[in-house]
Structure 1
Amino acid sequence: MTTSTTEVLVGGVVLAAAIAFGAYAITTTGFSMGGDGYPLTASFRSLEGVSVGSDVRLAGVKVGTVSEIALNPETYRADMSLTMERGVQVPDDSAILISSEGLLGGNFVEISPGGSMFYLEAGDEIVDTQGSVSLISLLLKYVGGGSN
């Protein structure tokens, strides 16, 4: 009898620790189950280095995630859908660009807010976009004397 009671107590403690660890991991990573944001879209010349799940940042603070990337067969541009957090309002004249975390860091999507008094609504498109710049092409231009 005491062996089964001890096993049940130890199992309960292990289960409680696993749940606590899972809750801690979810809150510290900013993971969300979805449904708490609104969608926006943008079209880029190049989305090199950005993938589904990449951060969307405003003033260095994560305010959303990239939810979908697809090639537009008519314009040959990369169409991106992103999910913004509910409390974040983005002026309708804002720009969106692909930024790098450094020379060896990954890329993320950055929103540069405009000064408009009107805000983007769910499903709106951010028109002012700047795609990613390839580090290799920049190095080739530098080595080639900038003539390319």
Structure 2
Amino acid sequence: MKGRSIAEVLAGAVVLLVAFSFLAYAVTNSGRGGFSGPALTLTAKFDRIDGLAPGADVRVAGVKVGSVVDQRIDPQTFLAILTMRIDASLRMPTDSSAEIASEGLLGGRFVSLVPGGADETLADGGQITITQSAISLESLLGRFIFSMTEGQPRSGADQPAAAAPAAPSGLAPLGTPPAGR
């Protein structure tokens, strides 16, 4: 009986070790692991950051170059302030822009940086001033549905009765028996 419980404990330990090694492999090779190397901290202010959370990707041309590390509200302007850490080897021009984009219809959100053309670059602690906030899919659908129903004729009692269409000359209107019967 004692030999069986030791075997079960060893088998459980082996299973946990294998599971941990798979998890470590997945984290290090998926691009979702921690950002290594020297980093540059940048901030940006947005009207809305719907669905964006700390840890979200920061991308340039679709390539992950950093992540969102903090988000907070500016108490004076009520704008959302994002703090991002990006690869320090990237020399982002001062006129670069940041926009909150979506991976797809049901995908997560990320920050997309679009490099500008200025000669000066953003320093550590710099701020990106040109931003585009998140677009709310629910709001767009609501506006579309409202605009479609706004132009539609109403049915029921609030519609005036339509006049019967006139019959072509020489023919009796529909629903009347022919003459002579």
TM-score (norm 1): 0.81
How far 1:102 moved relative to its partner? 1.1
Q: Which moved more, 1:111-120 or 1:65-74?
A: 111-120
Distance (Å, rounded) in 1 between the aligned partners of 2:88 and 2:17: 32
1:28 aligns with 2:29: yes
**Structure 1 residues 100, 18: CA separation in 2 closer, same or farther (over 3 Å shift)?**
closer
Range that drifts further, 104-113 or 15-24: 15-24
Q: Deviations over 1:67-89 (max 9, x none)?
A: 00001111001011000012222
1:67 to 58, 66, 69: 69
Q: Give the length in aligned residue pairs.
A: 139
What's 2:85 paired with?
83
Q: Higher relative contact order by CA 8 Å / sep ≥ 6: 1 or 2?
A: 1
Deviations 1:23-66 (A, max 9, x none): 53342133126673120000100000100000000000000100
Q: 1:118 aligns with which of 117, 120, 142?
A: 120
Change (3 A) 1:115 1:39: same
Structure 2 unaligned blocks of 5 or more: 1-6, 151-181
Identify unmatched segments of 5+ residues in structure 1: 1-6
Give me the TM-score of the superposition, normalised by structure 2: 0.67
Partner of 1:104: 106
Letter aligned with residue 29 of structure 2:
T
Structure 1 residues 48 and 19: alpha-carbon distance in aligned structure 2, compared to 1, 3 A threshold: closer
Amino acid in the other structure paired with 2:81: D
Distance of 2:92 and 2:58 partners within structure 1: 12
Which piece of structure 1 moves more, 60-69 or 116-125?
116-125
CA distance in structure 2 between the aligned counterparts of 1:113 and 1:103, rounded to whole angstroms: 25
Matched, 1:134 2:136: yes
Q: In 2 relative to 1, CA 61–35 (structure 1 residues): closer, same or farther, beyond 3 Å?
A: closer
Alignment partner, residue 3 of structure 1:
none
* CA radius of gyration, larger in: 2
CA contact (8 A) 2:46 2:79 kept: yes
Letter in 1 for 2:134: S
Letter in 1 for 2:26: A
Higher strand share: 1
Q: Work out whether 1:93 is the aligned partner of 2:102.
A: no
Amino acid at match of 1:90: M
Q: Does 1:143 align with 2:150?
A: no
Q: Which amino acid aligns with 1:24?
A: Y
Q: Please tell me the root mean square deviation across aligned C-alpha atoms, in Å.
A: 2.7
Amino acid in structure 1 at the alignment position of 2:56: S
Residue 50 of structure 1: aligned partner: 52
